[in-house]
Copies of this chain bind each other. A is one copy, B any other.
Amino acid sequence: MTEPKSYKWFLDFLSPDEGHMHGIETILFAKQTKYQRMEILETKSYGRCLVLDGKMQSSQADEFVYHEALVHPAMLSHPEPKRVFVVGGGEGATVREILRHKSVEKVLMVDIDEEVVEQSKIYLPEWSQGAFDDPRVELRYMDARKYLEETKDNWDVIIIDISEPVEEGPAYLLYTKEFYKIVQNRLGKSGLISLQAGSAAHTSLTCFAAVYQTLKAVFPYVGGYQATIPSFGLPWGFTVASTRIDPRAIAPEEIDRRIKERIKGGTKYYSGEIHQGQFLFPKNVRNSLERFDRIIEDNQPLYTYH
């Protein structure tokens, strides 16, 4: 049973003292873009992977989990999502999942880093699966916060798909109370927002808990939930929020019905069963999330390890 171990490794440091190791088959692309270090690795266990600034973003073997978990809870909770705004989402899989919802008429994706989008089209075609060519999709390369501040348009669902906030990184001002207020003002009546928020492990819950509490300071309904993306090395936290709709109140059977009716080709990961299960946390994690007493603000930003 003892096979020889890999001798080329990608070490994904989750903290100075913890990491997840991936045996590398080969390196397909490596470049410093204007905003970040971008790499496409072929790993032995998870296939092709997108790595930004040394951190795993998504892998061939489990990106469907990440993207279904990010997109479907908000989309399926809305009665009929037509207009969807994506903050970030560079490799295109978030837009791909959004487009599978039959009701969608317009997707605007605003990402600051054109090179990530362009190289992902070449090296990660399975991620976007042609989504960028869909006539419903518009793509802009600029600061998404600036765009949302200046536009008057409204959206049914806004999905934030960005890296975690690191000092001097492109994303830290997209994690604050001020930004979430801007987002709230751009949502339609039954609008929902969803986003990923870092590790959901009870041992490294700061980012997730802070985002959760910051959203609670803005939205009446906030549902923290988790998903297992094995290549990340730790369970992952997400949040869905809304002014009028509580996704947790939708029954599993109704979710299964909506998946069947609304999503072209069905799902691989999402189901009524996991819709129900994902919002349920252990006692200690529940307590940490609910009792966390920090709100992220523009002048008190949050940074995670990198």
Which residues on A are within 8 Å of B, measured CB to CB?
A: 1-13, 15-27, 30, 39, 41, 43-46, 54, 61-62, 65, 166-167, 199-204, 226-228, 230-231, 233-235, 267-271, 273-274, 276-284, 286, 303-306
Of the candidates B25, B43, B228, the one whose C-beta lies within 8 Å of that of A201 is: B228
B20 close to A233 (CB less than 8 A):
yes
A5 to B227, CA, bound (A): 28
Of the candidates B24, B271, B286, the one whose C-beta lies within 8 Å of that of A27 is: B24
**Could you say how many copies of this chain the assembly holds?**
4
A17 close to B6 (CB less than 8 A):
yes
A20 to B18, CA, bound (A): 8
A180 to B81, CA, bound (A): 50
Of the candidates B6, B26, B202, B228, the one whose C-beta lies within 8 Å of that of A200 is: B228
A267 to B270, CA, bound (A): 30
Please name 28 pairs of A and B residues whose Cβ atoms are closer than 8 Å in the assembled complex, sorted by A.
A2-B306, A3-B305, A4-B16, A5-B13, A8-B10, A8-B11, A8-B39, A24-B27, A25-B30, A61-B203, A65-B282, A200-B228, A202-B230, A203-B230, A228-B282, A233-B233, A233-B234, A267-B283, A270-B283, A271-B283, A273-B280, A273-B282, A274-B281, A274-B282, A276-B276, A276-B280, A277-B277, A277-B278
A13 close to B7 (CB less than 8 A):
yes
A46 to B15, CA, bound (A): 12
Most chain B beta-carbon neighbours within 10 Å: one of A10, A234, A304: A234
Smallest CB-CB A-B distances: 5 pairs: A277-B280, A17-B23, A17-B44, A201-B230, A19-B21
Of the candidates B16, B24, B284, B304, the one whose C-beta lies within 8 Å of that of A5 is: B16
> Which residue of chain B has its CB nearest to the CB of A303?
B1
Chain B residues with Cβ below 8 Å from A284 are 65, 268-269
Chain B residues with Cβ below 8 Å from A12 are 7
A10 to B21, CA, bound (A): 12
Known: A21-B20, A22-B17, A44-B17. A280 touches B286 (CB 8 A): no
Question: How far is the CB of A303 from the nearest CB of chain B, in Å?
Answer: 5
Chain B residues with Cβ below 8 Å from A276 are 276-277, 280
A285 to B200, CA, bound (A): 19
Chain B residues with Cβ below 8 Å from A43 are 17
Question: How far is the CB of A272 from the nearest CB of chain B, in Å?
Answer: 9
Of the candidates B15, B19, B25, B62, the one whose C-beta lies within 8 Å of that of A20 is: B19
A16 close to B6 (CB less than 8 A):
yes
